[in-house]
Amino acid sequence: MRKILFLFIIIMSAGMFSQSDQIALIPKPQSLELKKGTFKIDENITLYFEPEFEIAGNFLNDFLQNGAGFQLKKTSEKEADLIFKKDVSQPSEGYILEISNSKITIKASDASGAFYAVQTLRQLLPPQAETKNPTKKQSFSIPQLTITDYPKFQYRGMHLDCARHFFDIEFVKKYIANLALLKMNTFHWHLTDDQGWRIEIKKYPELTAKGAFREETLIGHYNDTPQKFDGKRYGGFYTQEDIKEVVAFAAKHNVTIIPEIEMPGHAQAAISAYPELGCTGTQIPVATTWGVFEDIFCPKEETFTFLENVLSEVIPLFPSEYIHIGGDEAPKLQWKNCAHCQKLIKDKNLKDEHGLQSYFIQRIEKFVNSKGKKIIGWDEILEGGLAPNATVMSWRGMQGGIDAAKEKHDVIMTPTSHSYFDYYQSDNPDEPLAIGGFVPLKKVYSFNPISKELNAEESKYILGAQANLWTEYIPNEKQVEYMVFPRILAMSEVTWSGPSENLEKDYPDFVTRVEAFMPRLDSLNINYANHLYELEGKILKEDGKVFYELTTPTKGKEIRYSINNSETKAYSKPILIEENSKISANVFKNGEKVGRDFFEEIMYHKGITAKISLSVPPNPAYAAGGKEALINGISGSDKRYGDKEWLGFWGDDLEITIDFGTPTDINSVTTRFYNAPGQWIHAPKIIKMIRPFVDGTTDTISIPTFSPDDNNENIIEGYIPIIPILAGKMIDGSKIVLIIPNYGIIPEGQQGAGNKAWTFIDEIIIE
């Protein structure tokens, strides 16, 4: 699948692309004017740059040395063939790149702009230039052109969780280098959590002697019953010298590192090393499973002393203006049962435990501010009152960021719906195990960090966006890259070029450039996921008829299919569906099959031609199939809820109306729910259905569902089996209404306690 035909793309002055020349830039520049002719880069080219542009100039020379076997000789500005010039008219991080028949000129107002011009120049070179240590000196011809470019957002970030699984500094540096290639400027380094403390703190050696190692690690998914473990001690940490080495490397790649030291929650590893930091004072182990744990930092004076001492060692290591202090997923049960905490709430005139968390965060913020730094926290820091100078990282959706921006706080948007790269990126059943969710490439590309709820003034507080990679289910470097690439290409374009204004027009162009970019990823030895040759199926309805449409992301491919074991034929138009159908299909490129086999099974039940309406829309993180997914004849995965057929609703009571248009005989109505308390997902306790009759009357029936408390033997792998809402009892009517109450607030002692529960529902089958 990696033998990819290098597509030829031309970039017109308006920034549009067509297939005719060797340019495939990601992220797309703001404007590009292509000219006739080329410019040759070889060992005879001379170089000039001002001291301010030393990082960019040195990067270019090192790149050419590694990929072409030569460096450019430095000379005066007057005599140089490749010139970096100071141009104060350029915006911050912006640049102009001019390539004529005689020279290359880079104009920038700051070092960042010059560096990004070099990354663009690098992408104009062929992919083999990325291969290190050539056997002989190379030369390259690049097109003559003028690019004017600058970023849409000032914050363009990528996160890596090194607490759940540990990655050595050489891989971390490779990760950072890849961000630089894509003009991303921030690396969010998650260094502490329940499963491991990863940064050396000299004043507290037990943090790494004990807190950096767990006795074993969960095998399989958290929701598996029973849970299984590998029985192997696991861990590692970064010395302060390691940190300095990585920070220096990042500086040479124009990347700022923001460290994250979690508090008050996600602190079990720290408390395992120093039990006095918890409310109970009891010895606990470093966590061996995933999820959220009740042992959190107790807001005692000795705890604040500890955290201030830790931060006093962390802050000098990182030049960033920000320190990330977490603030998310902090259960309050121990605080509720702690005499000290309750007294503190009373003494400080706080409303409740949420107010105590706000007090905790604000106290830490004052200390961080005293060191000349600012804090970033996850959107839970809004609860109980936001710290005065805090920046909010909005992950549970966009709303936290919207609320913060309206309060004139800086915001970085990183919602699960578009930016969680630990979620599945394909609904193919052979994808590697992931935490759940569904964030395919197109979903990332469709992201707009600025909500329509914000006016122009409020929008200024949206600094940018970030993609996150949590590593509970990502144990090695190859899988990190598989989950990140190519989705990071989409995030880089969203944050640099700006969100798409016409997704159906822009996305095919983007995918064409991604396909052309893959040989560069091959040269960089990046283990990317290639889903560009996969098929996607969709039910279409027109004039009471049902059709099945097949599409594949890239152009110039042939689709061949078979329905109900018929002879294979070329696909040219949507397939008419009039009965239960099994479809198999493949993508062909130049006559050869590429990608993976595709299969779909469609149930032609009575609901498939009906109309459906919902009282509330599904959450954006779990709405890929839209409301039609509930009556399109296609069931969701039996192994995971995060595909386009399962719809997720967070805390909402749901009312579903299915309208048949005319009176219809109905003998059965069935559906199913997902139940995974470990992921805040709870099946509803009951379902109600309003049943219509031909005489216009209705009645309402209530049907109990299974609960995990029942220990029902039919509960398998977290799924509630198909529930017969109506069976063996014919009714006549033109519509039915299903009422699905949300489970409610998650009770104490369970994952996500105090939060709203999720409801996940699959196909509603009507026969």
User: If you compute the radius of gyration of the chain from its CA atoms, what whole number of angstroms results?
Assistant: 28
Percent composition of the chain: helix, strand, coil (DSSP 3-state, to 5): 25, 30, 45
Measure the CA–CA gap between 506 and 485, rounded to whole angstroms: 19
User: The tokens 């009152």 sit on which residue?
Assistant: 385
Would you call 231 helix, strand, or coil by DSSP? coil
Q: Which residues have C-beta within 8 Å of that of residue 745, sequence separation ≥ 6? A: 754, 755, 756, 757
Measure the CA–CA gap between 564 and 574, rounded to whole angstroms: 16
Would you call 343 helix, strand, or coil by DSSP? helix
Is-contact 322 257, C-beta < 8 A?
Answer: no
| Sign (positive or negative) of CA dihedral 424, 425, 428, 433 | negative
Nearest residue to 446 (alpha-carbon basis) of 426, 423, 424, 465: 465
Measure the CA–CA gap between 719 and 674, rounded to whole angstroms: 5
- Catalytic one among 98, 329, 353, 383? 329
- Please give the backbone phi and psi of residue 571, each rounded to the nearest 5 degrees, phi first: -85, 130
Residues in the chain: 767
Structure-token pair, residue 357: 């968390």
What residue type is assigned to position 390 of the chain?
A
Measure the CA–CA gap between 73 and 248, rounded to whole angstroms: 25
- Please give the backbone phi and psi of residue 673, each rounded to the nearest 5 degrees, phi first: -125, 165
Structure-token pair, residue 60: 């270019």
Measure the CA–CA gap between 93 and 112, rounded to whole angstroms: 5
Pair type for strands 723-740 and 686-692: antiparallel
Nearest residue to 405 (alpha-carbon basis) of 382, 431, 375: 382
276 is catalytic: no
User: What secondary structure letter does DSSP report for 199?
Assistant: B
Q: Which residues have C-beta within 8 Å of that of residue 580, sequence separation ≥ 6? A: 601, 602, 603, 604
User: The tokens 């470097």 sit on which residue?
Assistant: 477
Would you call 237 helix, strand, or coil by DSSP? coil
Angle, vertex CA 329, rays to CA 415 and CA 751, nearest 5: 105
Measure the CA–CA gap between 417 and 420, rounded to whole angstroms: 7
Strand boundaries in 492-606, DSSP class E: 536-542, 545-551, 558-563, 569-570, 575-577, 581-589, 592-602
Measure the CA–CA gap between 165 and 148, rounded to whole angstroms: 41
Q: Exposed, middle or buried by CB within 10 Å (0-12, 13-18, 19+), for 651?
A: middle
Nearest residue to 251 (alpha-carbon basis) of 56, 501, 531, 37: 56
CA of 404: how far to CAs of 216, 393, 651, in Å? 40, 10, 21
Is-contact 167 160, C-beta < 8 A?
Answer: yes
Buried b (16+ CB within 10 A) or exposed e, 216-242: ebbeebbbeeeeeeeeeebbebbeeeb
Strand boundaries in 397-470, DSSP class E: 411-413, 462-467
Q: Residue 450's CB: how many other CB atoms inside 10 A?
A: 24
Q: Which residue numbers are catalytic?
A: 329
